């Protein structure tokens, strides 16, 4: 038995615990106290379910009504049409308001299950069991749920908090390396925007983290969640400081939208997005050149792309960035770095400096 | 200029005013202070827009970005597919988080616009301008938004409050008589469940109300909204007392679902549903026979159906009622009348008494 660490995301009435520990997926004692009743609907996908569904079901022997929805795996299925598959199952099986939805999968499963829970009968309970590094460190904290629209990512959704989150680093052993890298992008982000000690620790430990050292992964997950939880607790509904969590994401979303959902993993787009954002920060006279280098190098050590796709030029990216929901009345809202470990929010009316910086960015200059 | 009455629905941070007065639709001074910015999207339908859209637009000269979505009129279009038309417009026109959605229409437009506002970018502002009696007295108060699913009414939605509600009784002059009756069902409901003086007043004034006396209509709207607001303020998220607002609705929803959305108007189904519920109340030893008669007679005076459709038998209705979201773990939750002016909530495990009462109900016995 490995150690289990618990901490609480502090959101008043909507506070909830995150449990982190190897082997947690097979243990019922952390899960069952958070069920609202004996009615449970598990939502998973066709990649995760064959590996972990039976183990989760074995923990739910107390449920007298237990059904499962298996979604197709991939960001391209994160839309209203597939969300409706969850509603279909809930209604066909006549689940009432006392149902608890359990999300077993990555960020897409978590976001869709959370949004379905927010909307079904105007709100039922849900529990997150994230099975990717990305979802363990990012989408399981903060209550952002939703689906994509053909014209923009995460444009339809709700702020909705789970009953609890259960993060088991052991499940990452079956995760493709590309997805481990993608998750690491968000881990690096927490260091870059607000925790220089964590950034230093990541530089020292990235090789072992990428070789799946379980204890180090558990520590990285916990420090990431705590960093995110601190920001979210300050600003649950994203009216201010929470926007710094979008470091690398404005560029990243443009890459994802421009390439079509699913071509680049979210974390890969964020990795390249952070490198671009670091360079733009320098062009705006904020970040030092050697710190841009440290970010680009750490992303590279995590196996992340550090350049945007070749067939997506800066003007197209800028056009895609303008539809981002963080913008107000035509002003482009950027999250930049004042220094390593300190993010700032910059509202940019005039985009020519930005455009030039994007055109001149080359990772080679920093490596 | 007619008198304008204002009262506030008291929901803490989410409190909002309701303005009631003849001619309000053409006046900008009540509307514009509640806009979040100069970006406005009006959502209406193809029945209401040709009559009132230009008048509303004339009040919005301060809006620098003004777009319109026209939905098809009817309960059968209240689904995720048509909801997406609102998202399409919001994204195509690149509306940001500062947009204000204005619902110009009946309950369907209001519910869909409110739900779109709740979900677009995880929450933007909206204003209700209800144009039917039903929406003026019911759906504009209480924050229930959402869409239907093929397997159940209002199964997908959110609790979400508007910035303000503007109710103009003059617009009812263009309302078909059948819809005036449908709205009157909810008006009668407020008297029956919690305001015997209002019920008495309605009995005395129903002929003039049905002849569209504007001052009496304004009073009926105001007393209805105040009754509803009082209950909603006590229980915003429907964990207890708010359920009494569903008097007649469990039976009514079964009628609507059984006949297919759109065949019966919601208020018509609620009218027949209240009459059945009154009879069931009597069968359970609660309501007196003469009070059942008063409810049936008042519904009849309002031009409402007082019997369920002939081709929907009691067993099919019961089956449809079991999927209602007010039920917990197989127990059927009924809202009945203890006496005229006082509703009670009854959880019914054994449905045989209910079934027999439904089979024996005949409005003729009470008229």
The A residues from 49 to 88 touching B (CB cutoff 8 Å) are 80, 84, 87-88
As given in the structure block, the two tokens for residue B148 are: 């239907």
Identify whether residues A219 and A293 lie together within a single domain. Answer: yes
- Would you call B201 an interface residue with chain A, using a CB distance cutoff of 8 Å? no
How much is the average pLDDT of A129-145?
A: 92
CA distance B274 to A219: 60
Helix (H, G, I), strand (E, B) or coil at B222: helix
User: What does the pLDDT look like over A241-252, one tens digit per residue?
Assistant: 889 999 999 999
Q: Does A327 touch chain B (CB under 8 A)?
A: yes
Task: Provide the 10 A C-beta neighbour count for residue B134.
Answer: 28
Decide if A284 contacts A348 (C-beta within 8 A): no
Do B59 and B155 have their domain in common? yes
Cβ neighbours of residue A202 closer than 8 Å, sequence gap 6 or more? A187, A188, A191, A209, A220, A298
In this structure, the answer to whether residues B118 and B187 fall within a common structural domain is no
pLDDT reported for residue B260: 83
pLDDT of residue B146 exceeding 90, the answer is yes
Q: Do A323 and B120 touch (CB under 8 A)?
A: no
Helices (H) and strands (E) in chain A, counts: 12, 11
Of B122, B142, B120, B140, give the one whose Cα is nearest residue B183.
Answer: B140
CATH code of B128's domain: 3.40.50.1970
Same domain, B357 and B304: yes
Closest to B66 in 3D by CA, of B92, B38, B94: B38
ipTM, interface predicted TM-score of the complex: 0.84
- Cα–Cα distance for residue pair A329/A349, rounded to 1 Å: 10
Residues 6+ apart with CB under 8 A from A300: A306, A363, A367
* Average pLDDT over every residue of A207-214: 94
Same domain, A188 and A144: no
Same-domain check for residues B21 and B128: yes
* A54-71 core/surface letters (b: 16 or more CB in 10 A; e: else): eebeebbeebebbbbbbb
Residue at which a domain ends, from A125, A146, A174: A174
Question: Strands A65-71 and A39-45, how do they pair?
Answer: parallel
User: CB–CB of A132/A158 below 8 Å?
Assistant: no
Encode pLDDT of A23-55 as tens digits. 999 899 999 999 999 999 999 999 999 999 999
- Can you tell me the distance from the alpha carbon of A78 to that of A257, in angstroms, rounded to the nearest whole number? 13
Which of B80, B83, B94 minimises the CB distance to A323?
B94
The number of beta carbons lying within 10 Å of the beta carbon of residue B319 is 13
> Crossing angle of helices A196-210/A177-194, nearest 10°?
170
**Using CA of residue B99, residue B100, residue B103, residue B109, what is the dihedral sign?**
positive
Q: Which residue has the higher pLDDT, B347 or A82?
A: A82
Give CA angle at B352 (B347, B356), nearest 5°: 115
* pLDDT grade for B239, boundaries at 50, 70 and 90: confident
Report yes or no: B189 and B247 within 8 Å, Cβ to Cβ: yes
Q: Structure tokens of B147?
A: 């869409």
Domain boundary among A174, A206, A223: A174
Asked if B39's CB is within 8 angstroms of A329's CB, the reply is yes
Catalytic residue IDs of B = 122, 144, 186, 228, 238, 242, 246, 249, 253, 266
pLDDT, greater one: A208 or A11: A208
Classify the phi-psi angles of B154: left when phi > 0, otherwise alpha if psi is within -120 to 50, otherwise beta.
Answer: left
Distances (CA, A) of A171 to A23, A55, A133, B127: 8, 11, 9, 47
Q: How many other C-beta atoms lie within 10 A of the C-beta of residue B350? A: 9
For the stretch B61-96, pLDDT in tens is: 999 999 999 999 988 899 999 999 999 999 999 999
Do B148 and B82 meet the contact criterion of CB atoms below 8 Å apart?
A: no
Distance between CA atoms of residues B337 and B343, nearest Å: 4
Residue B124, helix vs strand vs coil: coil
Is A123 touching B (CB cutoff 8 A)? yes
The pLDDT of residue A326: 61
Across-strand partners of B16? B9
- Spatial separation of the C-alpha atoms in residues A79 and B110, rounded to whole Å: 24
Span B326-338, average pLDDT: 81
For residue B171, pLDDT beyond 90: yes
Minimum-distance CB partner of B155 among A91, A238, A322 = A91
Which is higher by pLDDT, A155 or A142?
A: A155
Residue A15 burial (CB < 10 Å; 0-12/13-18/19+)? exposed
Same-domain pairing of B220 and B322: yes
B47 & B106 share domain: yes
- Asked if residue A265 and residue A128 are part of one domain, the reply reads no
Does pLDDT of A1 surpass 80? no
Q: Of A213-222, A292-301, B238-247, where does the model show the most confidence?
A: A292-301
Same domain (yes/no): A267, A295: yes
For B136, how many CA atoms within 13 A lie in the half-sphere containing its CB? Answer: 29
Q: Which of B159, B325, B329 has the CB atom closest to A37's CB atom?
A: B329
Q: Do A259 and A348 have their domain in common?
A: yes
Quick one: tokens of B70?
């026209």
Q: Quote the longest CA-to-CA distance of chain B.
A: 61
**Beta strand A65-71 with A16-20: parallel, antiparallel or unpaired?**
unpaired
Query: What is the domain range of residue B134?
Result: 5-174
- The band of B196, judged by pLDDT with boundaries at 50, 70 and 90, is very high
Average pLDDT estimate for A72-79: 92
Residue of A89, A134, A91, A93 lying closest to A110 (CA atoms): A134
Distance from the Cα of B323 to chain A's closest Cα (Å) equals: 6
| Cα dihedral B91, B97, B102, B105 in deg (nearest 10) | 50
Q: What is the pLDDT of residues B202-238, one digit of tens each?
A: 999 999 999 999 889 999 999 999 999 999 888 877 7
Question: Given CA atoms B282, B285, B287, B289 in this order, what sign does their dihedral have?
Answer: positive
Q: Which residue of B has its CA nearest to A85?
A: B149
A159/B122 touch (CB, cutoff 8 Å), yes or no: yes
pLDDT on residue A324: 66
Residue A48 CA from chain centroid, whole number = 17
Nearest to A97 among B156, B159, B328 (CB): B328
User: Kind and range of the H or E element at B228?
Assistant: helix B214-234
Residue A277 binned pLDDT confidence (cut-offs 50, 70, 90): very high
Query: CB of B255 within 8 A of CB of B269?
Result: yes
Structure tokens at A242: 């929470």
Of A119, A122, A325, the CB nearest to B144: A122
Task: Report how far residue B169's alpha carbon sits from residue A33's, in angstroms, rounded to the nearest whole number.
Answer: 52
pLDDT at residue number B354: 92
Question: Locate tokens 């003026």: which residue?
Answer: B136
For residue B277, the SS3 value is helix
Inter-chain residue contact A91 with B323, CB threshold 8 Å: yes
**Boundary (domain end) residue, out of A140, A159, A174:** A174
pLDDT averaged over every residue in chain B: 93
Residue with tokens 């506030």: B8
**Separation of alpha carbons A298 and A184, rounded Å:** 10
Co-location of A44 and A107 in the same domain? yes
Shortest CA distance to B163 belongs to which of B114, B119, B91? B114
Which is nearest to B41 in space by CA: B111, B106, B108, B116?
B116
Query: What total of structural domains would you count in chain B?
Result: 2
Residue, of B13 and A323, whose pLDDT is higher = B13
Q: Are the beta carbons of A182 and A267 closer than 8 angstroms?
A: yes
**pLDDT for position B3:** 81
Our CA-based measurement puts residue A63 at a distance from the nearest CA of chain B, in whole angstroms, of 13
All residues of chain A having their beta carbon less than 8 Å from the beta carbon of residue B90 are 155
CATH of the domain at B291: 1.20.1090.10
Q: Give the Å distances, CA to CA, from B221 to A22, B78, B202.
A: 60, 25, 12
- In whole angstroms, give the CA distance from residue A247 to residue A347: 14
Nearest-CA distance from B218 to chain A in Å? Answer: 31
d(CA B324, CA B153): 8
* The predicted structure's pLDDT at residue A330: 67
A111: Cβ contacts below 8 Å, ≥ 6 apart:
A78, A139, A144, A145, A146, A147, A154, A157
**A260's torsion region: left (phi>0), alpha (psi -120 to 50) or beta?**
left
pLDDT reported for residue B2? 60
Is B239's Cβ below 8 Å from some Cβ in A? no
Give strand ranges (E) for chain A: 5-9, 16-20, 39-45, 65-71, 100-105, 125-130, 144-149, 152-159, 165-167, 332-339, 342-348
Closest-CA residue to B236 (of B69, B1, B9): B9
Given a contact cutoff of 8 angstroms between Cβ atoms, the answer to whether A156 and B119 are in contact is: yes
Taking the C-alpha atoms of residue A187 and residue A194, their distance in angstroms, rounded to an integer, is 11
Return the H-helix or E-strand segment holding A279.
Answer: helix A266-283
What is the rounded CA–CA span in Å between residue A44 and residue A70? 5
């Amino acid at each position: 038995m490995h150690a289990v660490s618990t901490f609480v995301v502090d959101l008043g009435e909507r506070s909830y615990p995150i449990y982190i520990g190897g082997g947690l997926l097979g243990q019922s004692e952390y899960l069952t106290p958070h069920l609202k009743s004996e009615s449970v609907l598990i939502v998973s996908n066709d990649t995760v379910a064959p590996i972990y569904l039976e183990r989760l079901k074995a923990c739910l022997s107390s449920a007298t009504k237990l059904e499962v929805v298996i979604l197709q795996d991939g960001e391209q299925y994160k839309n209203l049409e597939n969300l409706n598959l969850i509603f279909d199952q809930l209604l066909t099986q006549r689940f009432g308001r006392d149902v608890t939805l359990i999300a077993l999968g990555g960020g897409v499963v978590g976001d869709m299950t959370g949004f379905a829970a927010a909307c079904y009968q105007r709100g039922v309970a849900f529990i997150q069991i994230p099975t990717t590094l990305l979802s363990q460190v990012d989408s399981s904290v903060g209550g952002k749920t939703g689906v994509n629209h053909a014209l923009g990512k995460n444009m339809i959704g709700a702020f909705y908090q789970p009953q609890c989150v259960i993060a088991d680093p052991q499940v990452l052993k079956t995760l493709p390396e590309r997805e481990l890298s993608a998750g690491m992008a968000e881990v690096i982000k927490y260091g870059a925007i607000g925790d220089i000690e964590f950034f230093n620790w990541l530089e020292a430990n990235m090789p072992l983290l990428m070789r799946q050292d379980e204890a180090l992964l558990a520590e990285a997950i916990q420090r990431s969640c705590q960093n995110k939880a601190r920001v979210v607790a300050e600003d649950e509904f994203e009216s201010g400081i929470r926007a710094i969590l979008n470091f690398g994401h404005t560029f990243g979303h443009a890459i994802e939208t421009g390439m079509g959902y699913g071509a680049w993993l979210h974390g890969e787009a964020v990795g390249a997005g952070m490198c671009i954002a670091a360079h733009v920060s320098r062009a705006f006279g904020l970040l030092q050149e050697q710190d841009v280098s440290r970010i680009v190098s750490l992303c590279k050590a995590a196996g992340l792309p550090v350049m945007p796709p070749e067939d997506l030029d800066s003007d197209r990216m800028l056009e895609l960035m303008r539809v981002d929901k963080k913008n107000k009345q035509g002003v482009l809202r950027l999250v930049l770095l004042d220094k390593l470990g300190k993010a700032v929010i910059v509202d940019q009316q005039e985009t020519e400096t930005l455009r030039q910086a994007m055109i001149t960015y080359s990772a080679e200059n920093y490596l």
